[in-house]
Each structure stands twice: as structure tokens, then as C-alpha cells.
Amino acid sequence: MKHIVILISGTGSNMAAIVRAAQQQHWAERLNARVAAVVSNRPGAKGLDFARQAGIATGVVDHQGFDSREAFDAALQAEIDRHDPGGRPALVVLAGFMRILTPGFVAHYAGRLVNIHPSLLPAFPGLHTHQRAIDEGCRLAGATVHQVTAELDHGQILAQAAVPVLPGDTAEALAARVLTQEHLIYPRAVAELLQKI
């Protein structure tokens, strides 16, 4: 059985979309895969409640308890790997996980670490993507599922979805429209990647 570990920092709406897809599409039977755990760097992350209610193991590695990014990433790696009998899950999925990961962590999960970013990469890596798209006069915005590399918001693009930027859009309105597409493309991209592993 292929194990997936999902990392979150907040409400975990993309995590919830993946969990629901895994249940509705019977990933256990069809893909020989399951969401084994949801791990957060914030003890109060609301997404942990959703995971527990879905019967999924949870874990917390609070980044505030570490003196360095390397020490935090080492503890996070240990927490992730304990949720797979082979010591390293098939996929580690970042779903609103708001930490920049060290090159050593990324290398440990090379080819098996994915993220979703709220822009049409390579445009607007980093933060404040929706406001930046509006400020630049873009007619389209969207989301990108990509492999994670040591370079922020780079890596092979696995899926994208576009939405129009409407006259008078606010960053919040655009973000909400993009999020509906994230919930569609992220589970699909994860399933397609699992078929190749």
C-alpha cells in the first residue's frame, strides 16, 4: 500500500479535498494508496480536526520549538517517515504548509514531494500572488501543482487551472475563485502521480 502524508499549517481545505477524493474514488483499491497521516507545524491547525474525524492519524511538529530550520526539518522528516512501514511514504503533499523547506529535506523526498501554488507558475512565485496578478493587469490567474525542488515555487509542473481576473476583483475574491480550482486539480494530480510510482 502506498502511503501519502499531507502537511498543513491551517484549515487544510486542499488536504480535505484530497482526502474526500481518496475516499470517493476508492484510491485504496484503485491506486493501492491511502492518506496515512496529516502533519502540521501548528498545534491549533483546524485541518487536524478534519483529519481526526476522517479517521486519519495526525501529528504536530511545532516549528517554534526549534532553533534552526534544519533541526525542525529533521524532526518533521522523522514524523513523516514514521507513518510508512518502509520508512518513507510514496508521496508527501504540501497543502497550505507555510514553511520553506531545507535542501536536505527536499532531497530526502526527491520526486515524491508536491505542492500547490496559487498562481500560474512561473508567474508570481512567493506570496501575495492574487494582488500581484491584479496589479499587473493579468486577465488570467490560477493555480499550479508542481514537484518541489530546493528553489521556491519551481519544479516540474504537474497540473494547472486558470480563472479569469474580473473587473473590480479584489485579492480575496480572486483567491476564492482560484481555490475552487485548486480543490479540483490537486486530487487529480496526486492520483496521476501515484499511478507512476
The whole-angstrom separation of Cα 90 and Cα 98 is 21
Q: Give pLDDT, residue 197.
A: 87
Q: CB–CB of 27/191 below 8 Å?
A: yes
Active site residue 117: yes
Q: CB–CB of 33/3 below 8 Å?
A: yes
Q: Give pLDDT, residue 4.
A: 98
CA 116 from centroid of its chain's CA atoms: 5
| Tens place of pLDDT per residue across the chain (197 aa) | 999 999 999 999 999 999 999 999 999 999 999 999 999 999 999 999 999 999 999 999 999 999 999 999 999 999 999 999 888 899 999 999 999 999 999 999 999 999 999 999 999 999 999 999 999 999 999 999 999 999 989 999 999 999 999 999 999 999 999 999 999 999 999 999 999 98
Element (H, E) at 60: strand 57-60
Q: Which three cell numbers stand for residue 116?
A: 500547490
Regarding pTM above 0.95, the answer is yes
The whole-angstrom separation of Cα 30 and Cα 16 is 19
Half-sphere exposure of 33 (CA within 13 A, CB side): 27
- Catalytic, out of 3, 108, 117, 183: 117
